[in-house]
Structure 1
Amino acid sequence: MERSGGLSPEQELALLKTRKKVIEAIGNNMDLYGITPSTGHLYGLLFFQNKPMTLDEMRQAMEMSKTSMSTGVRTLVDLKMVNKVWEKGSRKDLYEVEHDWYQTFADFFSIKWRKASEINLHALRKSRFELLSLAEQYAGDEELEQQVQIDLAKIDEAIRYYQWLIRLIETLESQEIFKLVPKDNG
């Protein structure tokens, strides 16, 4: 972790201890994002840096293998929680945390929810079509028609839900959500 200027060793230790509590909490709660605790701890480390870090610097600070570090950083970049940055005179890749946690939340859930919604909508629409074909194939079978109608009602409700979720995702992606629920810029 980056050393803080002209602090005494005692002050430095107290600061590091406080930061470590936050890093531990962040790491232990990153499962919400589907992230391992070690990758969450990496995010916490980057959060407290005042400058971008290289993979080697992160690996040394975290005492992780190069493969684990690379995988963790790639995960955080893919989720838009960490950004790859360029610094004049540096040949190595540098990374820094995305400081806008509101945008991080919006990006993460947009990515995850859109993927899940599209997969589920596709399955629901395909099943709906198959149910209608089944009902047509066995027209006149009242018991089957009744079951098909019950299933169609359930599928139609699920489709309405995923269509609503996509509209919610669009408010996240367009940042309209922040008009409905403003950021606290305290």
Structure 2
Amino acid sequence: MNEQHQEEMELDKARDRFITEIANNVHLYDITNSIGRLYGTIFFAEKPMTLDEMSESLGMSKTSMSTGVRALSEANMIEKAWEKGVRKDLYRTNPDWYKSFSTVFIKRWSQSAAKNHQALCDTKQKLQELSKNADSEEVKHKASLDLEKLRSAEAYYEWLNEVISLFETGEIFNIVPKRNEPSQKV
């Protein structure tokens, strides 16, 4: 085995270490392990890739690649690229990792916070009715105690909505600045 081949194998091994970790943790973005491997493949590609190139590189169907590209695009993890003379769609990783995190954070937490807040409001309404209208003094008392507990939960959801707003407006980066990173060259 020649030296260049050995070095290329070491390069692939180093890349695979990062790709494997990304794939193992990308579920946090509501993305599957295989789509995480796709992301890693695109990340280390020397140039933007077509669906055919992705399919060949990963040994998966073009349909799977299309599904993966859609999921990664929705999470702002990849973006379309343009190359003179190439008619097929090309994709590369979005160099702004902060944007992809913000997109997923906003989507997931907004949905969860909205559902939880609605449940809180429904529960609060029922507890208020019980604390006023129940025949049992014990039920009235318990409902009143539960309403007190819900006040802290309500304060939490108000705070969470403020945090979500910081991400939506980008103000979070005034509080916790982005780290300077070299721009990705493609």
- Shorter-chain-normalised TM-score: which range? 0.7 to 0.9
Corresponding position: 1:137 with 2:133: yes
What is the alpha-carbon distance in structure 2 between the residues aligned to residue 68 and residue 13 of structure 1?
27
User: Structure 2 matches for 1:82-101, cutoff 5 A?
Assistant: 82-101=78-97
What is the alpha-carbon distance in structure 2 between the residues aligned to residue 133 and residue 161 of structure 1?
23
* Cα drift, residue 165 of structure 1: 0.9
What is the alpha-carbon distance in structure 1 between the residues aligned to residue 107 and residue 56 of structure 2?
31
Corresponding position: 1:158 with 2:126: no
Contact 2:131/2:141 (8 A) holds in 1:
no
Q: Deviations over 1:90-148 (max 9, x none)?
A: 3322222111112221221111101111111111112211221233332x632111111
Aligned twin of 1:182 = 177
Aligned twin of 2:116 = 120
User: Structure 2 matches for 1:21-32, cutoff 5 A?
Assistant: 21-32=17-28
Q: TM-score, normalised by structure 1?
A: 0.86
What is the alpha-carbon distance in structure 2 between the residues aligned to residue 90 and residue 165 of structure 1?
45
Aligned twin of 2:73 = 77
Q: Which amino acid aligns with 2:139?
A: L
Contact 2:128/2:144 (8 A) holds in 1:
no
Aligned twin of 1:66 = 62
2:141 counterpart (141, 146, 155):
146
Q: Deviations over 1:152-186 (max 9, x none)?
A: 12222212111111111111121211111122216
Deviates more, 1:80-89 or 1:25-34: 80-89
Aligned twin of 1:3 = none
* Cα drift, residue 38 of structure 1: 0.9
What is the alpha-carbon distance in structure 1 between the residues aligned to residue 127 and residue 82 of structure 2?
54
Percent identical: 45
2:48 counterpart (49, 52, 59):
52
Q: Which amino acid aligns with 2:14?
A: T
2:13 counterpart (14, 17, 42):
17
Deviates more, 1:140-149 or 1:111-120: 140-149
* Cα drift, residue 49 of structure 1: 1.9
Corresponding position: 1:168 with 2:157: no
What is the alpha-carbon distance in structure 1 between the residues aligned to residue 166 and residue 33 of structure 2?
30
Where do 5+ consecutive residues of structure 2 fail to align?
Answer: 182-186
Where do 5+ consecutive residues of structure 1 fail to align?
Answer: 1-6
Q: Which amino acid aligns with 1:76?
A: L
Q: Give the match's secondary structure for 1:53.
A: coil
Q: Deviations over 1:31-53 (max 9, x none)?
A: 22232211111111111123221
Query: Runs ≥4 in structure 1, deviation > 6 angstroms?
Result: none
